[in-house]
Structure 1
Amino acid sequence: MRVRRLAAWTALPLAVTLGLAACGSGGDGGSGSNGSGAVSIQIAEPQHLVPTNTTETSGSQVISGLFAPLVDYDAQNKPVEVAAESVTSSDNTVWTIKLKDGFTFHNGEKVTSDDYINAWNYGAYAPNGQGASYFFDKIAGYQDLQGEKPKAKTLSGLKKLDDLSFQVTLSAPYTDFKTMLGYNAFYPLPEAAFSAPGVLKDSYEQAPIGQGPFKMKGNWQHDSKIEVERYDAYPLEKPKVKDIEFRIYQQLTAAYADVLADNLDVLPTIPTENLSTAPTDLGDRYQTSPMSSFQFLAFPTFDKDYSNPDVRKAISMAIDRDEITKSIFKNSQQPARSFVSPILPGYRDNTTGDAGQFNPAAAKSLYQAANGPSKITISYNGDGGHKDWVDATCNQLKANLGVDCVGAAEPKFSDLLNKVEKKQPVGLFRMGWVMDYPSMEDYLGPLYSTNGSSNYYGYSNPEFDKLVKEGAAAPSQEEAIKKYQQAEDILAKDMPVIPLRFGQNVFGHSTKVQNVEMDASQRVNLVKIEAAS
């Protein structure tokens, strides 16, 4: 979520994850550490800025400043309350959420439990077409809101207790529900966002009203920038800077040049082309930190060319992950042979087995026996710095499988996603994932469940779905992990995607800012960053 998150960029060290005239413009890096400074941060063009429809990294970065989550996570990835006073349950099925008093939306409206209930109902109602709707499916009544003609418009599992508390009844026990509430789909929406009950204003997304530490400064300037300013009525820790410009770039290399020239303050992802020189170029302004990213190649399993798991396994075996990680990414990432991030409890190394091992001879034999296609296309978003590794992958497939292979760049990540959603021919396509919340379920359910919110490849396995559901309903995390691991074993047999790399945050900043921190979901901490003294 991811989803948070499909990610657009490649050196995520993610997923799922641009800019025009703003590329070369200089940002005001700040005038001091007294809170009056402004900072500029590179992003891609977001797909959306409505919380329940924001499922990629750039949109998530922006709304993480506009909204405060119910919970966030500590260094051990345990949930800690932010906008929530408490989140409690005696049976993991009925949960009571009490809100902290004192939160207001940026238009002055007091935040109440109604604002969460209304936002969640809007997100869950299928005709609204929200990309993060899947995250409400654990709440009782969700199925009644699905289909072209839903039976209901509101979730039966949501009940207001008073202005600062509400009850959430799940359709089955879920041990990680409190953890899940850190995802942006669970942000509230003000009354001002709606033109009528359940009907969002068309204009809301261009200037979202939240209850977080920053508020919009004007409207979203598409393919250029999004500007926000400090919200002085925010009741928790105040930001150290007054203004932030999220500057939209078309090419990461242009953003990197701007950081070196002090015309851009924060670059969350160092381009692959600059990884070898960045430590010298930036000095102590070149930084790394733990990150949840997962890069993979996805198969359109509904395409007859890739419907055979043996074809998919053969392609995986023909890719030398270690060589590409070393030569292209300068070991800034880790070769992936599993489907969940190493930072999570329950991670196991090499769950892909033989399919994840580089074995060109066996790969070619299996590919020919399975009648794999004579030409392979790998589609990717051209705005994300993927060309080098895609070309290297194609060269390996040509050499090791004896096929023709070409990389096909779409202008933007959103363009690639739109094509895939419409099942237009794209061949294999690159994807990236950044966790929505720290649970194995977040890597399995959204990406591979039959109705998963980010299952763009048409993969469906009833036994996999069953195991994920059983894991979610398990009474303890330990029992849940056992079920999730069994589900992951099924992925290893079916190989709907090819795990390629796990990432870390690899980022840089200008001389004008300090205390630049990035979380495991590839977001800059907008409260901690400040102008350099």
Structure 2
Amino acid sequence: MRSQRGAGRSARGGTAGLAAVVLAASLGLAACGGGDAGASDGTFIAGHSEPDHLMPADTTSSYSFDVISELFDNLMTLDRGGRAVPLAAESVTSDDQRTWTIKVRPGQRFHNDEPVTAQSFADAWNHAAYGPNGMAANDYFSHIEGYAAMNPEDAGAEPEAGTLSGVDVVDQHTLEVTLNDPFSQFPLLLTYPAYAPMPKAGLKDPKAFDERPIGNGPYMMGGEWERNKQIRLVAFPGYTGPRKPRNKGVTWKSYSSADTAYTDLRAGALDVLQTIPSGKVPEARKVLGDRFITGEAGTIDYLGFPLFDERFADPDLRKAISMVIDREGVNKAVYNGDYTPADSLLPSIIPGHRDGACGEPCTYDPVKAKALFDKAGGFEGTLELYFSNAQPTYAQWMRIVANSLRDNLGIQDIEFRQVPASDYFAMLRAREEKGPFRQNWEADYPSPQNYLENMWGSGDNRMGWENEEFDALIAEANRTGDEQKAIELYNRAEDIAIREMPMIPLWTWARQAGHSENVGDVTVTPFATGLLAHEVTVK
């Protein structure tokens, strides 16, 4: 599975499969409605950008996840600390990290009153993994035995199988799942929205299911999906799980402008906004007071190198470029000092983060950088810097980086390549870039494996970097059931990536959210779960 994101479901806005993830600060749809609608009927209004799909397996967008995560209970969920804990499952266990026994909690029902069984999960996963169905999250099932037979490498070939051979329904409440290789992070993977169950009605008419999902979660659809306007959810009275809503419902309103959403928040016409535009953050701190929510996120920005271009082959050159980037200076100039300069390939909220792991290569030191640059033979030709137009901040910090490269390394011929967000990741997948490129990652689940293997693993990474020792350490870590030993192995792999620096870590994003006076108990997690809508209380 290679889940690469680019602007972050980041905080919040994935569209990838990885494909583009665009900041909520830059996306959304026109506001609808107004007034403190949630104050009188026990419901509240949250703002975000328009989702692409509501079929759990047909999206990798955080805007879709906002809705899906409340409509569905996955087998596992994340606790406040980012650890996988049972939700629709009673237990998920394995003796060898390859064969997993899953016990589904009895007594659950879909919103149409159909029982939730082990078959409900098996059917959903088979539908998602079957290549011809074209599900956006199809490759999230690639760890399961039989996936390759359902997804032939030749695009024109017929699949050899219609179901995952590694998924066996033992009885009404038991699944046995066999993976291609031992994978200790599998319980975390089960928290990903694509692993939600489907009722028989959804399988019978997937198109209708995408428009009006029938889930097993604490909320159900409160009407039709009003495209480019809103999605209304109401509390499901038959819910028997642990996420019992403390409110009567939530309406997800779509915005095309984050500034408009913030204006509505200030006016009390919007109750929760998960991403406040960077330019509005200083004002939001003052206006919202204790209703301003901040904290470190799980998204890191990186600068990758096209190693298939021999001009970038020397690690010393790549380290020199890293060492002339004043991360704290960019943070203050562009992000109000709220982001965290990267000192590791992993954000601090992820198990395995080590303070200062990146060391000297991530430390601003123009003098040492110039020495490394000269040792590497310098750089000839035009240095092209690639980024998308999804956020104005990308161009801002790229200009700062370019000025430092000119002033400290003497690279004078620098050109910017600002690419439409809709085309940016297709360009990177095709390896059409001719210079360093902006990239980021927000975890699908909070594991060092999700960052390191998906971003640096040989074969599918966007840099063209390959290292057998790195891959072997990741594979060994994936196999071990000892969490501490696995982290040690992931860290050893991280050290190799830092030593060769095919991609530079820059800074970790900050959560910058806010809520109105109409609601309380608002929690926005740094994980894919985002807003814990069921915990919100309406005053």
Cα-to-partner distance string for 1:496-519 (whole Å, 9 max, x where unaligned): 322111234221112222111011
Q: Which residue of 2 aligns with 1:274?
A: 280
**In 1, distance between residues paired with 2:92 and 2:467?**
34
Matched, 1:105 2:110: yes
**In 2, distance between residues paired with 1:515 and 1:241?**
11
Q: 1:84, CA displacement in angstroms?
A: 0.7
Q: Which residue of 1 aligns with 2:173?
A: 164
Matches within 5 A, 1:75-224: 75-146=80-151, 147-148=153-154, 149=157, 150-195=159-204, 201-224=206-229
Q: Give RMSD over aligned pairs.
A: 3.3
Q: Which residue of 2 aligns with 1:464?
A: 470
Cα-to-partner distance string for 1:5-39 (whole Å, 9 max, x where unaligned): 76547877x9945556624753654124xxx3332
Q: Which residue of 2 aligns with 1:498?
A: 504
Contact 1:308 1:370 in 2 (8 A): no
Contact 1:27 1:265 in 2 (8 A): no
Q: Say which SS state the counterpart of residue 386 (structure 2) adopts.
A: strand
**In 1, distance between residues paired with 2:186 and 2:390?**
36
Q: Which residue of 1 aligns with 2:357?
A: 351
**In 1, distance between residues paired with 2:466 and 2:139?**
16
Of all paired residues, the percent bearing the same amino acid is 35
Cα-to-partner distance string for 1:421-470 (whole Å, 9 max, x where unaligned): 45454854433322222321121122222355xx4454443332222111
Contact 2:80 2:525 in 1 (8 A): no
**In 2, distance between residues paired with 1:359 and 1:508?**
37
Query: Kindly tell me: are residues 252 and 516 of structure 1, through their superposed partners in 2, closer, same or farther at Cα, counting changes over 3 Å?
Result: same
Q: Which range is displaced more, 298-307 or 252-261? A: 298-307
**In 1, distance between residues paired with 2:299 and 2:256?**
21
Q: Which residue of 2 aligns with 1:375?
A: 383
Contact 1:44 1:249 in 2 (8 A): yes
Q: Say which SS state the counterpart of residue 328 (structure 1) adopts.
A: helix
Q: Say which SS state the counterpart of residue 496 (structure 2) adopts.
A: helix
Contact 1:9 1:386 in 2 (8 A): no
Cα-to-partner distance string for 1:96-137 (whole Å, 9 max, x where unaligned): 111112322233332221121122223333444444344333
Q: Say which SS state the counterpart of residue 177 (structure 2) adopts.
A: strand
**In 2, distance between residues paired with 1:485 and 1:292?**
17
Query: Kindly tell me: are residues 391 and 220 of structure 1, through their superposed partners in 2, closer, same or farther at Cα, counting changes over 3 Å?
Result: farther
Q: 1:330, CA displacement in angstroms?
A: 2.8
**In 2, distance between residues paired with 1:338 and 1:120?**
35
Cα-to-partner distance string for 1:48-94 (whole Å, 9 max, x where unaligned): 43323433422222211121121223344332211111222233332
Q: Which amino acid aligns with 1:278?
A: A
Contact 1:270 1:508 in 2 (8 A): yes
Q: Which amino acid aligns with 1:132?
A: A
Q: Say which SS state the counterpart of residue 175 (structure 2) adopts.
A: strand
Q: Say which SS state the counterpart of residue 31 (structure 1) adopts.
A: helix
Q: Which residue of 1 aligns with 2:34?
A: 26
Matched, 1:325 2:331: yes
Matched, 1:442 2:454: no
**In 1, distance between residues paired with 2:484 and 2:62?**
29
Give structure 2 stretches of 5+ with no counterpart. 15-19
Matches within 5 A, 1:245-324: 245-302=251-308, 306=312, 309-324=315-330
**In 2, distance between residues paired with 1:155 and 1:466?**
26
Matches within 5 A, 1:381-396: 381-383=389-391, 386-396=394-404
Q: 1:224, CA displacement in angstroms?
A: 4.3
Question: Paired residue for 1:244, among 250, 258, 263?
Answer: 250
TM-score (norm 2): 0.85
Q: Which amino acid aligns with 1:507?
A: A
**In 2, distance between residues paired with 1:527 and 1:5?**
27
Q: Which residue of 1 aligns with 2:424?
A: 416
Matched, 1:526 2:533: yes
Contact 2:30 2:255 in 1 (8 A): yes
Contact 2:384 2:434 in 1 (8 A): no
Q: Say which SS state the counterpart of residue 39 (structure 2) adopts.
A: coil
Contact 2:10 2:441 in 1 (8 A): no
Q: Say which SS state the counterpart of residue 97 (structure 1) adopts.
A: strand
Query: Kindly tell me: are residues 512 and 390 of structure 1, through their superposed partners in 2, closer, same or farther at Cα, counting changes over 3 Å?
Result: farther
Contact 2:28 2:258 in 1 (8 A): no
Q: 1:155, CA displacement in angstroms?
A: 1.9
Q: Which residue of 2 aligns with 1:482?
A: 488
Cα-to-partner distance string for 1:280-312 (whole Å, 9 max, x where unaligned): 121111122453222223344445665654443
Q: 1:268, CA displacement in angstroms?
A: 1.2
Q: Which amino acid aligns with 2:303?
A: L
Q: Which amino acid aligns with 2:199?
A: P
Matched, 1:38 2:38: no
Give structure 1 stretches of 5+ with no counterpart. none
Q: 1:385, CA displacement in angstroms?
A: 5.5
Q: Which range is displaced more, 325-334 or 23-32? A: 23-32
Contact 1:213 1:230 in 2 (8 A): yes
Q: Which range is displaced more, 487-496 or 48-57? A: 48-57
**In 1, distance between residues paired with 2:357 and 2:176?**
39
Contact 1:6 1:56 in 2 (8 A): no
Q: Say which SS state the counterpart of residue 276 (structure 1) adopts.
A: helix
**In 2, distance between residues paired with 1:424 and 1:99?**
46
Cα-to-partner distance string for 1:387-425 (whole Å, 9 max, x where unaligned): 54344334434443434556555565x553344345454
Contact 1:8 1:44 in 2 (8 A): no
Q: Say which SS state the counterpart of residue 41 (structure 1) adopts.
A: strand
**In 2, distance between residues paired with 1:448 and 1:53?**
25
**In 1, distance between residues paired with 2:212 and 2:431?**
32
Q: Which amino acid aligns with 1:360?
A: P
**In 1, distance between residues paired with 2:433 and 2:495?**
29
